[in-house]
Chain A
Amino acid sequence: MEDQKVNKACSGMPDTVFECVIHYIHDSRDRDAVSLVCRRWHDIDAMTRKHITIAFCYTTTPGQLLKRFRDLESLKLKGKPRAAMFNLIPEDWGGYVTPWVEEIARSFRCLNAIHFRRMIVRDSDLELLAQSRGNALQVLKLDKCSGFSTDGLLHIGRSCRGLRTLFLEESTIMEKDGEWLHELALNNTVLETLSFYMTDLNDVRFQDLELIARNCRSLVSMKISDIEILDLAVFFSAATALEEFGGGFFNDQPERYSAVSFPQRLCQLGLAYMGNNEMPIVFPFASRLKKLDLLYALLDTEDHCLLIQRCPNLEVLETRNVIGDRGLEILARYCKRLRRLRIERGADEQGMEDEEGVVSQRGLIAVAQGCLELEYWAVHVSDITNAALECIGTHMKNLSDFRLVLLDQVERINDLPLDNGVLALLRGCCHKLRRFALYLRPGALSDVGLRYIGQYSPNVRWMLLGNVGESDEGLLEFSRGCPSLQKLEMRGCCFSEQALAKAVLQLTSLRYMWLQGYRATETGRDLLVMARPFWNIELIPARKVAVPDQLGEAVVVSDNPAHIIAYYSLAGQRTDFPDTVVPLIL
């Protein structure tokens, strides 16, 4: 009797009440949980969800997305595996946006923000998008995409006058001319963010940038390709609202750059090819800087020290390992508000980077003890100890994303294996850690260490593991843990196909796996152990690839060992794969 009364009360609650409440629920995982309660809540969620991220484009179809979220306003789609950013995936592997753009043009009337990441985009796709969305399109991000030219961008520049964000970073774009930027400059007055950073678009006129600065009073972020900084003096004086700037180069005499005055609100900066002589132009406003990108600068260790000590408000730093242990000690002393730190791998060639420019346990310990608010930390180290990892676990209680790569320059690392250090790190950070990468060398992490990773990463959703473990046993122990692991990437493993397949079955949350370098058999039969409904398995068999060598001088034919990509999908087997990809069809 009482149950019936309760049920009536529930069914009597008007939808509008819940619709008001649901607008306060933003996190996609919370929304996911809400949508599973009952059909009405599922439908209300579907009608009110503003943004969807499809982490891997082959898990579903445009039609399925439309059926559930017809009034979607913002979509993010990711295509190629992350390994594509490291030149490991064939260019024509897949991730075509065409079927998605066609559906967007046909049916998604409310969609105004689109973000494609690591996908193949054609000029015809951009033309269709421009024609169908037109002035309604507010955000377009072609992030590490390829397959299109400046002609495609011309359509966007002409037809999308409502565009607030155009983001093209690291995309491979065929350059015909600079007309696309000119059109954008002529037609747009609401642009807030423009980025063609790290593209090879050099045929751009700085006069068009000046026009954009004058017309778009809300311009807040501009990141460009290789344009001489002196040519941007007028741009900088016009862009009064600018907070972020990246790119450019310095080809003139250092003294001339002191005449360039930067916008008053500029607090995020990344000047490419900035050397020791040009660095002082940053000093007048260095204390205002919240974000500093030195990845493409020409600074040595001492320069880093001189610059960083002037930036007490720094929250984000990206640089190469030329910063060295000494630079990291300075960072730890002066930049107490640091939240994100990325230390990439510089040149290996002798003479191209500072000899002091290596990061070891000394730098790790300094940062661990000094930058307690760090949430994201990616670092390439040349040497490491267990003590350094323990120190990270002890002090860094806010770490949610940690990535360590042990470089192979130093032949002998004394304090191996790193089992105990990794254990201490994970136990210390276990509550907040969501993303974890550990790329080592054979012998650096034993099966015991691999088991520790499984046992002590309760909330980790993404992992990249390189050269870890000793035997299949280690992998199987690992896969008994990791209860939240959704996406796993592994490289250089000693595991057999059978063990890999068994591990996949044991990882309860796993929905995507990428793997390169394992004990492959001729036919890949043992992988069938992981065959199950909705689970797609694709191979990229071992092949030889011609890649430019480190110096860009010679083309080296190198071996590219077999990849396995396996993922859950509601879309069935994909049909757009190239010759280099072999789906395991069951």
Chain B
Amino acid sequence: MSRSTVELDFFRMEKENSSKSHTQKLFDRRRSFRDIQGVISKLNPDLLKTVIASGSSNQTPTGNGNFLPSKASTPKDLPVYTPIFAPISGSESTPPLTIFYNGNVVVFDVPRHKAENILKLAEKGLPKTVESADLKLAASSNDQPQLLQTLNGDLPIFRRKSLQRFLVKRKERLTLVSPYSCADYVQT
């Protein structure tokens, strides 16, 4: 299930990881994702928006090139935007809108113009009602068939409720620092 994605390789991870095995890369990418999150949350939000907005409106591959946003001022150690495109598998699906904010990553699969709407609303500083507003838009808009088209090939495999709850509970237990696990470290 491949789709075209716009990946922002701020730290040139692709070049560094090219020597590793495929699965190793997959895992590394996920780990470094979290590292990137922390840094990106401290970046200038205006800059981020400009980059994402122009990324989602730019479908054709332009190859590796440096892109410097025209509006915001650019300090010397500004990350470089290098568009990387995965091969498109024949469908016309738009790339997902990925938002990093405050240590969270959220992915939206919406048409292009909706992505721009969301960004505009974010600029205006509207709170969580963005999601509900978009819900109403989606339900009543004319381009529902287009929305349906993009959804059809892209159904993630859902997990059983019981297992989902267990995995969440397990994660909670692991993040709680238990005195007994500390004791293990002390003894060894």
**Residues of A bordering B, CB below 8 Å:** 85-88, 170, 198, 251-253, 272-273, 295-296, 298, 320, 344-347, 349-352, 355, 405, 407-411, 439, 441-442, 466-467, 491-494, 516-522, 542-544, 546, 548, 550-554, 556-559, 561-562
Task: Check A345 against B151 for contact (C-beta < 8 Å).
Answer: no
CB distance from B71 to the nearest CB of A (A): 29
The SS class assigned to the B binding surface is helix
B167 with A559: CB separation less than 8 A: no
Q: Collect the chain A residues with CB atoms within 8 Å of residue B183's CB.
A: 253
Q: Name the contact of B148 in the complex, choosing from A441, A492, A546, A562 (C-beta under 8 A).
A: A562
Distance between A225 CB and nearest chain B CB, rounded to angstroms: 11
A170 to B157, CA, bound (A): 21
- With a 10 A CB-CB cut-off, give which of B148, B153, B160, B165 has the most chain A CB atoms: B148
- Min CB–CB distance B83 → chain A (angstroms): 20
CB distance from B41 to the nearest CB of A (A): 14
A147 → chain B, closest Cβ, in Å?
Answer: 15
Q: Which of B1, B31, B147 contacts A442 (CB 8 A)?
A: B1
Task: Give min CB distance, B123 to chain A, whole Å.
Answer: 20
Number of A-B contacts (CB under 8 A): 119
Is B161 close to A, CB under 8 A? yes
A contact face: mostly helix, strand, loop, or mixed: loop
Chain A residue numbers with a CB within 8 Å of B23 are 410
**Interface digits, B134-163 against A, CB 8 Å rule (1 contact, 0 not)?**
110011000011011101110111111111
Set B104, B155, B167: member contacting A491, Cβ < 8 A: B155
Which of A295, A552, A553, A559 meets B104, CB within 8 Å? A553
152-188 of chain B: CB within 8 A of chain A? 152-153, 155-168, 170-173, 178, 180, 183
Interface pair A520/B30, CB less than 8 Å apart: no
**Chain A residues near B171 (CB-CB < 8 A):** 347, 352, 551-552
Closest residue of chain B to A542, judged by CB? Answer: B148
Please give the distance in Å from A423's CB to the nearest CB on chain B. Answer: 24
Given A548-B168, A552-B172, A556-B107, also A344-B152 (CB < 8 A): no
A556 to B106, CA, bound (A): 7
Inter-subunit contact B153/A552 (CB<8 Å): no
Interface size in chain B (residues, C-beta < 8 A): 48
Given A492-B153, A517-B151, A519-B152, A87 and B158 contact (CB-CB distance below 8 Å): yes
Q: Tell whether, in the assembled complex, residue A561 and residue B2 are in contact, meaning their CB atoms are under 8 Å apart.
A: no
Q: Given the complex of chains A and B, what is the CA–CA distance between A408 and B139 in angstroms?
A: 30
Contact A517 B155 (CB under 8 A): yes
- Across the interface, which residues of A come within 8 angstroms of B7, CB to CB? none
Which residues of chain B have a CB within 8 Å of any CB of chain A? 1-2, 22-23, 26-27, 30-31, 104-109, 131, 134-135, 138-139, 144-145, 147-149, 151-153, 155-168, 170-173, 178, 180, 183
Apart from A87-B164, A439-B157, A519-B149, 6 more pairs, CB < 8 Å: A85-B162, A352-B167, A409-B26, A517-B152, A550-B164, A556-B106
User: Which chain A residue has the least Cβ–Cβ distance from B179?
Assistant: A253
For residue B173, which residues in chain A have a CB less than 8 angstroms away from its CB?
Answer: 273
29 examples of A-B residue contacts, CB within 8 angstroms = A85-B160, A86-B158, A87-B158, A198-B165, A251-B178, A298-B170, A320-B163, A345-B157, A346-B167, A347-B167, A352-B167, A352-B170, A408-B1, A408-B157, A442-B153, A467-B155, A492-B152, A492-B153, A494-B153, A516-B155, A517-B151, A544-B134, A552-B168, A554-B105, A554-B106, A557-B131, A557-B135, A561-B148, A561-B152
Contact A544 B135 (CB under 8 A): yes
> How near does chain B come to A550, taking the closest CB pair, in angstroms?
7
List the 4 shortest-distance A-B pairs measured between CB atoms, nearest first: A552-B168, A86-B158, A492-B155, A561-B151
Q: Complex formed: what's the CA distance from A466 to B154 in Å? A: 12
**Complex interface: chain A residues within 8 A of B148 (CB):** 520, 542, 561-562
The closest CB in chain A to the CB of B155 belongs to A492
With a CB–CB cut-off of 8 A, which chain B residues contact A349?
30
> Quick one: which of A344, A409, A441 contacts B163, CB cutoff 8 A?
A344
| CB pair A551 B168 closer than 8 Å | yes
Nearest-Cβ distance from residue B112 to partner chain A, whole angstroms: 16
Asked if A170 contacts B158 (CB within 8 A), the reply is no
Contacts of B151 in A (CB 8 A): 517, 542, 559, 561
- Chain A residue at minimal CB-CB distance from B170: A298
Out of A296, A410, A439, A554, name the residue touching B166 (CB < 8 Å): A296
> What are the residues of chain B within 8 A of A409 when measuring CB–CB?
26
Chain B residues positioned under 8 Å from A198 (CB to CB):
162, 165
Q: Which of B106, B144, B162, B172 contacts A170 (CB 8 A)?
A: B162
Once the chains are docked, how many angstroms separate the CA of A405 from the CA of B156?
12
Give the contacting residue for A253; candidates B106, B108, B163, B180; CB below 8 A. B180
Question: Looking across the interface, which residue of chain B has its beta carbon closest to that of A169?
Answer: B162
- The complex places the Cα of A410 from the Cα of B172 at a distance, in Å, of 27
A407 contacts across to B, CB distance below 8 A: 157
Chain B nearest CB: distance from A408 CB in Å? 6
**Which residues of chain B are within 8 angstroms of A296 by Cβ–Cβ distance?**
166
B131 CB, nearest partner CB in chain A, Å: 5
Chain A residues with Cβ below 8 Å from B105 are 554
A332 to B90: give the CA distance in the assembly, Å.
Answer: 43
* A557 near B1: Cβ-Cβ < 8 Å: no
Inter-chain contact A542/B167, CB cutoff 8 Å? no
